[in-house]
């Protein structure tokens, strides 16, 4: 019997954590945290006590108690006893927080299978973060590429690449004793590597799966996201930057969106400017040079790629290494202020105070290249708005989503023709019943037999 238990990703975007069982095999599909984890209990400086591992998370019912999954360190300050791990492995689709973050609680002896690119990004992330909640600790890491086959206690696992807003993303085909279970992870077709998603869909259709576990981020009565391709983001950004003569175009995007880094590097080149990235982005690009299959701007040799150095009391060792690598291409606020008309500046939300030092010319464009806010009372977006108003910046919203539209999800299901469909990573799983008659709505923490 093939069984599925959904511990996350049910009726919510993110937090995928799914247990697949088949005879002796017990496999985890992702190990993510929800974006809203604990928001009903925590705010601002009221946070979980990370020094106590899982104590606060268990005490508030935020993380399920699963014997044999968690490490001794994570359980030490709880009332739960550590037990010998008895899982075959964890299969990670891609690097994003909502698919990886709870690896930090997992016993390090359980094999974690992930793409080579994803491992490189996680290593860079661990090196450059100062947040304890973002460090995933040591594991039995086992990397793969498309074409590899993995035997997990009798289940043959076939990873197939997909296109997403993070490089090195995969879907999986789990070839069980009763047939194939396909899992999409997160995917899109409108990105620069949309053909990868088509190859996953073709592979899944050929396997004639008994079940398809699919994301549905954009399956909703109304989709607030712009439906732009990456090429359209590039074109609109070039037009905006060209019109900003003698101004300082400022861009913000998700820090591990390599496609977007590449896009703004090209925008700078097309508009005769140089692109100034922050130190974390520089470290990521430097790290990804180890993976020849992921094409990234050459942070070591590209004369038009500059690295921004914030004024700090001290720098971490990794920052010192990045600055040494970039040499005379390291710039500060004074340089950016003096050369505003020749540059494009990357600026993260947490670094908005740099505007005080940079003093961008009023009327400079601020290209917000992330998802639009979903709530009218989005505090972060409200704060951002005050900063833009204060410095006279003009906001532009150019973003290509990392997810299939509802129509594309419908088309994918029609092409794969699975025996049943399990919607995850969606706030509207019931909508799948409108176009997928064999939809099974997952129940949280309840074992379900795959029909």
CA distance 3 to 22: 7
Final residue of a structural domain among 355, 380, 397:
397
* Structural domain containing residue 332: 230-397
Q: 38 and 168 share a domain?
A: yes
CATH of the domain at 284: 3.40.50.10710
CA distance 52 to 74: 7
CATH of the domain at 179: 3.60.15.10
User: Can you name the residues that pair with 251 across neighbouring β-strands?
Assistant: 346, 367
Q: How much is the pLDDT for 223? A: 82
Final residue of a structural domain among 380, 397, 414:
397
Q: 234 and 99 share a domain?
A: no
Q: 10 and 156 share a domain?
A: yes
Q: Name the pairing type of β-strands 2-8 and 17-22.
A: antiparallel
Q: 332 and 204 share a domain?
A: no
Q: How much is the pLDDT for 133? A: 78
Q: How much is the pLDDT for 442? A: 97
Question: Phi and psi dihedrals of 251, rounded to 5?
Answer: -125, 145
Q: 245 and 173 share a domain?
A: no
Q: Number of folded domains in the chain?
A: 2
Q: 304 and 414 share a domain?
A: no
Q: 347 and 316 share a domain?
A: yes
Q: 35 and 138 share a domain?
A: yes
CA distance 451 to 210: 8
Q: 130 and 240 share a domain?
A: no
Q: 64 and 201 share a domain?
A: yes
- DSSP-based three-state secondary structure for 166: coil
Final residue of a structural domain among 397, 412, 436:
397
Q: How much is the pLDDT for 375? A: 47
Q: 166 and 275 share a domain?
A: no
Q: 133 and 276 share a domain?
A: no
Mean pLDDT by 10 residues, the chain (451 residues): 96 96 98 92 92 97 97 97 96 96 97 97 93 87 95 98 96 98 97 96 98 97 84 97 97 94 98 98 96 93 97 97 98 98 97 98 97 61 95 96 96 98 97 95 96 78
CB-based contact 238:446 (threshold 8 Å):
no
CA distance 285 to 381: 28
How many contiguous H segments (helices) and E segments (strands) does the chain have? 13, 20
CB-based contact 439:420 (threshold 8 Å):
yes
């Amino acid at each position: 019997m093939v069984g599925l238990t959904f511990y996350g990703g049910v009726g919510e975007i993110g937090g995928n954590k799914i247990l697949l069982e088949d005879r002796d095999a017990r496999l985890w599909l992702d190990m993510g945290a929800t974006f809203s984890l604990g928001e009903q209990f925590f705010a601002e400086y009221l946070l979980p006590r990370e020094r106590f591992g899982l104590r606060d998370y268990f005490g508030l019912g935020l993380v399920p108690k699963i014997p044999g999954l968690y490490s001794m360190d994570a359980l030490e300050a709880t009332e739960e006893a550590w037990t010998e791990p008895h899982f075959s492995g964890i299969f990670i689709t891609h690097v994003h927080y909502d698919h990886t973050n709870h690896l930090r609680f997992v016993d390090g002896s359980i094999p974690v299978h992930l793409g080579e690119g994803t491992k490189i990004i996680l290593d860079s992330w661990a090196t450059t973060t100062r947040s304890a909640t973002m460090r995933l600790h040591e594991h039995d890491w086992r990397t793969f590429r498309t074409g590899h086959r993995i035997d997990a206690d009798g289940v043959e696992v076939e990873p197939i690449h997909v296109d997403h807003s993070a490089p090195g993303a995969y879907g999986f085909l789990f070839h069980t004793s009763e047939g194939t279970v396909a899992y999409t992870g997160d995917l899109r077709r409108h990105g620069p590597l949309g053909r990868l998603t088509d190859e996953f869909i073709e592979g899944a259709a050929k396997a004639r799966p008994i079940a398809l576990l699919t994301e549905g981020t954009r399956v909703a009565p109304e989709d607030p996201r712009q439906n732009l391709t990456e090429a359209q983001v590039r074109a609109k950004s070039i037009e905006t930057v060209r019109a900003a003569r003698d101004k300082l175009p400022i861009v913000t995007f998700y820090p591990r969106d390599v496609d977007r880094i590449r896009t703004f590097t090209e925008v700078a080149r097309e508009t005769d400017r140089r692109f100034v990235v922050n130190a974390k982005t520089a470290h990521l690009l430097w790290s990804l040079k180890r993976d020849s299959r992921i094409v990234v701007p050459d942070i070591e040799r590209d004369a038009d790629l500059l690295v921004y150095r914030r004024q700090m009391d001290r720098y971490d060792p990794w920052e010192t290494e990045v600055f040494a690598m970039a040499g005379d291409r390291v710039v500060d606020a004074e340089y950016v202020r003096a050369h505003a008309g020749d540059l494009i500046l990357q600026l993260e939300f947490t670094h908005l105070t740099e505007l005080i030092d940079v003093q961008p010319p009023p009327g400079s464009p601020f290209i917000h290249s992330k998802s639009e806010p979903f709530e009218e009372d989005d505090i972060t977006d409200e704060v951002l708005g005050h900063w833009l108003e204060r410095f006279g910046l003009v906001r532009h919203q150019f973003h290509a989503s990392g997810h299939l539209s509802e129509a594309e999800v419908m088309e994918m299901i029609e092409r794969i023709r699975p025996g049943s469909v399990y919607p995850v990573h969606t706030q509207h799983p019931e909508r799948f019943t409108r176009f997928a008659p064999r939809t099974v709505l997952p129940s949280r923490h309840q074992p379900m037999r795959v029909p």
